[in-house]
Structure formats: structure tokens, C-alpha cells
Structure 1
């Protein structure tokens, strides 16, 4: 595992075997949600190479647009977690932690992320 992947996956608050993804995602939705509704899972499969570039060029724009348009506004990204498949393990990471990391890597502030990638 490269340093970029390691830095991202260290943010995980829980893990599960990828073969148990459906049950693990359902459980995490219930645990992370509030009394009225479950949390939302945003699923990613990490590539084997060029993880940082893929996260910044592909994932960040789509994630920001999704969060902003779904009402899970930056920087808190309430009620959304990422289900990140890396090899045979599924890592659960809060969206706010991923956005904060990608903001730092990109050099863009939260306001700049919203302006550049948010809904038009």
C-alpha cells in the first residue's frame, strides 16, 4: 500500500471484509444515522495505482457535487460516510474527513471546492 492510500485509509472509523459489504454497509448506515433515518453510503473502489490523482481528479469533483446537491453541505457533510473498497477490505470513512483530506491535498478551501465543484 502506498503512502496516499495509507493516509486515506487511516481515517476509517470501521472496517469489514469486502465479502460482507451489504451487511456491513447496512449496519453502518444504522449506526451513523439519526433516530429518523439512516446515514448514506457513498461507495468507492480504490484503483491499484495513482490513487492520489484519481481521488483529486475523479472523486473530489463528484463527491463535492453529490454532497452539496444532496443537502449534506460541506464542511460537515452530515449523514454521509464513504464505503471504500481497497483489496479485500471495506473501509468506512466519514465524508467530512475525506473532504478535509482532499481539500488539503488539492490546496483548495471548502469555499473554493463548493464554487468549483458544487451544483451550478
Structure 2
């Protein structure tokens, strides 16, 4: 199972590398440099989260019969962050809306 998680990690790294190259070509510089970018620390944290989501998702899926070889694990690692993002958006939509805050009464002419 750990081999499939590793393939998922490699797939996510390949996906992230392509995204960095695409953005770098579009903005004509490294995408994390200030003032337009978030800075190196924030960017590194986002990459670590991206890779972690893909590795954990691939490892969880590897316990089933869905992932049966390295190529499947690699492919799931490439797409896992997008799938998890979409699933979380659907889950948030299922939550009940928050009730509105009660109106505050203005006392003393404020």
C-alpha cells in the first residue's frame, strides 16, 4: 500500500510542477515573489498541503480494489487535490445556512 501512496505523491508533484511552470510563463517571474505573490513560506505550505492531500487520498484509496497498480495511483495523485476540492465544495453547500444575527437596538442616540 505504501508504494501506491508514493506513486500518488509523485503524481501530485508532477501536477504541481506543471502548474508552477504554467503560472511562471504567464506572469513572467516566479509566482510566489512579492508584491504579487504570497511569499515563499505561504507558497511552500500550499505545496505541502497539495502533496499531503494527494498522498493521504491515494493511500486511503489503495486500501480498496480501485487502485491496483502504480499507474492508477499516479493518476489519482495527479487529480486528487481537484477531486477533494470539489467534494469539499459540495459538502459545504449541504450545510444549513447560518441564521441571521438579531438586530441590535441603538440606545441613547448613538
Band the TM-score falls in, shorter-chain normalisation: 0.3 to 0.5
TM-score, normalised via structure 1 length = 0.32
Which one has the bigger strand percentage? 1
Q: TM-score, normalised by structure 2?
A: 0.34
Greater Rg by CA: 2
Higher helix share: 2
